[in-house]
């Protein structure tokens, strides 16, 4: 079995990113959200234009967990002004860690998380933070296991459905 590598995503790989982004979001949330809300969210957040803009932002970075030429999951982190909230130059936001369902339990998420942690340490940042849906127990358990603690909440809109995200932080210094 080939080893899993973590590789920075470039604009030339945008279609692969779009495909895995849509697939992992559907696998994670389709069962518990309306089809209409899911379609609208995917159209807004995973359009080629939106992804190109995000990939071109110097304060956002995307990484694949890849085996051979196949992405198994991906990570998106944001610095400074690219962050969805806090916008603190001393923190790094993990906006997305998604892994294809067939690879859940294979430590792919941990590899992607470790990449985010290395980035934060390399840039000498004080903390990592993220938002996670309060009903996504798998993700909540993963982040708690990695030392994150809840510090706030915010509303997340998926189409016309308002959901609560828990904001979690891991202090590094």
Any idea which residues carry the catalytic annotation? 143
Angstrom distances, CA of residue 76 to CA of 59, 60, 92: 11, 7, 10
Query: How many angstroms separate the CA atoms of 103 and 87, rounded?
Result: 32
DSSP 85: S
Give the strand order in the sheet containing 127-133: 5-8, 60-67, 70-79, 91-99, 127-133, 161-171, 149-158
What is the C-alpha separation between 160 and 162, in angstroms, rounded? Answer: 7
For residue 155, which of 147, 167, 163 has the smallest C-alpha distance?
Answer: 163
Cβ contact 55:14 at 8 Å? yes
C-alpha to C-alpha distance for 106 and 109, rounded to whole angstroms: 8
């Amino acid at each position: 079995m080939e080893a899993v590598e973590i590789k920075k995503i470039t604009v030339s790989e945008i279609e692969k990113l779009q495909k895995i982004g849509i697939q992992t979001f559907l696998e994670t949330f389709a069962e518990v959200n309306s089809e209409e809300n899911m379609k609208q969210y995917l159209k807004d957040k995973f359009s080629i234009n939106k992804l190109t803009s995000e990939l071109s932002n110097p304060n956002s970075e995307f990484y694949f967990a890849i085996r051979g030429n196949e992405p198994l999951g991906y990570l998106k982190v944001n610095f400074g002004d690219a962050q969805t909230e806090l916008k603190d130059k001393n923190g790094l936001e993990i906006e997305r860690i998604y892994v294809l369902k067939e690879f859940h339990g294979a430590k792919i998420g941990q590899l992607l998380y470790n990449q985010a942690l290395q980035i934060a340490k390399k840039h000498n940042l004080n903390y990592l933070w993220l938002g996670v849906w309060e009903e996504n127990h798998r993700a909540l358990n993963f982040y708690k296991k990695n030392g994150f603690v809840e510090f706030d909440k915010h509303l997340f809109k998926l189409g016309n459905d308002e959901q609560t995200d828990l904001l979690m932080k891991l202090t590094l210094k």
